[in-house]
Amino acid sequence: MALGVTAPAERSDRGGRAVLLLLGIIVLAAILRFWRLGDWGFESTELFTLRDSNNPRLNNPRPIIYFLNYFLIRPLGPLNELGLRILPALFGVLAVPAMYFLGRRVVGSRAALFSGLLLAVSGSHIYYSQFARYWSLVFLLSAIYPIAIYIGVRERSRPALVLGLVTAILAVLSHPVSILLFGSLGIWVLGMYFRRGQLRQLWSQKGARWGMLVGLAMVAAIATRYVPMLRSWVSMHDKGPAGEFLLLLPTGMGLKQMSYLLAYAESLTLPVVLAGLVGIYHLWRRDRSLGLLMACLALFPVAFLLLVSLRTSISLPYLLMPSAPAFFYGAGVFLDSLTQVEWGVRPRWLIPATMVIIVLTAGAPTVMSQYRDGRRYDFRRVAEWLNGEMRPGDRIFSDQPRVLMHYLPGSEIPRLTRDTVALARSKESVEAAGKEGALWIVAPAPSHAFRSAPGLGRLNNWMYHNCQIRNTVGVGRLDFRQHYLQIYRCPPFPVSQPES
């Protein structure tokens, strides 16, 4: 056999090993995403999925998951904690082969396998795959459509281009944040083709002219559709608090943006982020076009949303889902590059395997903790306990009140805020009723780093002086996150007088 030429039998053997490895990774991903899938109670935003899946509407800006639940899951079983999470878990598993089959076209089979392995054991991806929302679908489609469009443009492949455009439409219909990857593609086009002299050359080609016109039409359509939507979203946040959660990211210019970046890196794990950035740089040195594309896909959505966060609050998945696939692709390239270096150590695979283990174990505490509490507060168990303790005339204030009302049907539960005046008035009204009723408060345990704001300190002080802690619900985790809920009973007499 001539030097540098791989025999057909050897290529076939390598292809067979890749298929077996891919199947093993897919099985691992399926086990991690479907294990204990229905064991966790709902969290606040999952109830929006329950509501919209029972009554899907075309004018909803993210309708796909709701229609899929309505037409595929609802006829087969109830839309409960398990039913609403079947499709997110399935989309989470499908992301592994999707990244492999597209990744091997642009970064190679071995790098694509590494990317799939990192994704399969990603604690953040497992969590969103076990969460009854649309985020695992957004990740899946965001991992497909920009790479498919890139392949279609680079190789002039009509099937790849059609796949990219169809999945792009589905991604945007899954959640509008997916539209940001069009901005990444636009920057890539500008960086690669709109140089001096190239624009005139491109314009001389009929296909390029049509492509530019289609691109301009898409930009106009996006601006017409989504700029008003963004303004409406910001305006909605201006009118009141976003969501039902007592614990929020720190505020303040710069501090909030730094908190988003740290939360982003922690979600993917720092080794994956660093390996992804190094892998993208390695791609840029090897193939400037592909490296620039991956850099745009990884950084533009994050940069854009950080700018938006200067005006209003955003959720971490907005940053994570569109841009995370590029980091997994880049990390796969980095690990693949380690296998091609002659380290002078035998066996040759020892150092690359050690690096893979280091990257994987960084997220191991979070992955193991996922199956202890599902990375959410257990309001279902709180409701079960309160059912045996509450008396007629009792009132409840709670973090995530919508969830508690779901598990305590017929109850009216106001949202717990930092406003102690509302709590004091409610307590006084219970006392004025002349019954043996009491005020109950369900709040996250004050052990979280984000509970250091002065307003939360005043709330805790009021509860400590006017209430008695009756129960703590939660399971200890192996990582830094702790999801304990504390249940306070505020009787119609003060436990002690607060200090002046």
Domain containing 465 — which CATH number? 3.40.190
In a domain, 340, yes or no: yes
Q: What pLDDT shows up at residue 3?
A: 38
Are residue 289 and residue 411 in the same domain, yes or no? Answer: no
Give the count of domains, the chain: 2
38 vs 130: CA distance, rounded Å:
8
Whether 496 is in a domain gets the answer no
Least confident of 154-163, 225-234, 361-370: 225-234
227 within domain boundaries: yes
Percent of the chain with pLDDT over 70: 82
Asked whether residue 498 is domain-assigned, the answer is: no
- Say how far apart CA 37 and CA 85 lie, in whole Å: 7
193 or 201, greater pLDDT: 193
In a domain, 3, yes or no: no
What is the pLDDT confidence band of residue 434, given thresholds at 50, 70 and 90? low
Query: pTM value?
Result: 0.90
Residue 310, C-beta contacts closer than 8 angstroms, at least 6 positions apart = 253, 257
DSSP-based three-state secondary structure for 61? coil
Domain boundary among 317, 348, 373: 373
Asked if 97 and 143 count as a contact pair (C-beta separation under 8 A), the reply is no
Higher-scoring residue by pLDDT: 363, 223: 363
| Domain finish residue from 330, 353, 373 | 373
Which is higher by pLDDT, 389 or 236?
A: 389
Binned at pLDDT 50, 70 and 90, residue 250 comes out as low
The model's pLDDT over 292-309, given as tens digits with 9 standing for 90+, comes to 999 999 999 999 999 988
Q: 363 and 383: one domain?
A: no
Model confidence at 349, in pLDDT bands (50, 70, 90)?
confident
Q: Print the domain residue range for 406.
A: 379-490
20, with CB counted inside 10 A (0-12, 13-18, 19+), is exposed
Q: Is residue 500 part of a domain?
A: no
pLDDT of residue 222: 66
Domain-embedded: residue 206? yes
User: Taking the alpha carbons of 372, 417, 43, 178 in that order, is the dihedral positive or negative?
Assistant: negative
Q: What is the pLDDT of residue 425?
A: 85
pLDDT exceeds cutoff 60 at 194: yes
The answer on 108 and 44 residing in a single domain is yes
- pLDDT tens column, 392-419: 888 999 999 999 999 999 889 999 888 8
Q: 324 vs 490, which has greater pLDDT?
A: 324
Q: Do 159 and 202 belong to one domain?
A: yes
Query: In whole numbers, what is the pLDDT of the chain averaged over residues?
Result: 86
Strands of the 468-473 sheet, one edge to the other: 395-398, 439-444, 485-490, 468-473
Do 429 and 394 have their domain in common? yes
Task: Report the pLDDT value the prediction gives residue 499, as an integer from 0 to 100.
Answer: 46
Closest CA to 446 of 433, 458, 428, 430: 458
Q: Give the domain-ending residue among 373, 400, 434.
A: 373
Q: Are residues 325 and 390 in the same domain?
A: no
Say whether both 180 and 36 belong to one domain. yes
**386 and 367 inside one domain:** no
* Alpha-carbon span 215 to 212, nearest angstrom: 5
Measured in whole angstroms, the distance separating CA 285 from the mean position of its chain's CA atoms is 30
pLDDT digits (tens, 9 = 90+) for 44-66: 899 999 999 999 998 888 999 99
What number of H helices and E strands is found in the chain? Answer: 21, 4
Average pLDDT, stretch 325-352?
92
pLDDT computed for residue 4 by the predictor: 41
pLDDT at 13: 57
Instruction: Report yes or no on 495 lying in a domain.
Output: no
User: Are 196 and 136 found together in one domain?
Assistant: yes
Residues 361 and 393 in one domain: no
Judge whether 131 and 85 are in contact, CB under 8 Å: yes
Q: How confident is the model at residue 500 (pLDDT cuts 50, 70, 90)?
A: very low
Q: Does residue 363 share a domain with residue 472?
A: no
Distance in angstroms between the alpha carbons of the first and the last residue of the chain: 90
Q: Does residue 205 share a domain with residue 310?
A: yes
Q: How big is the chain by its Cα radius of gyration, in Å?
A: 26
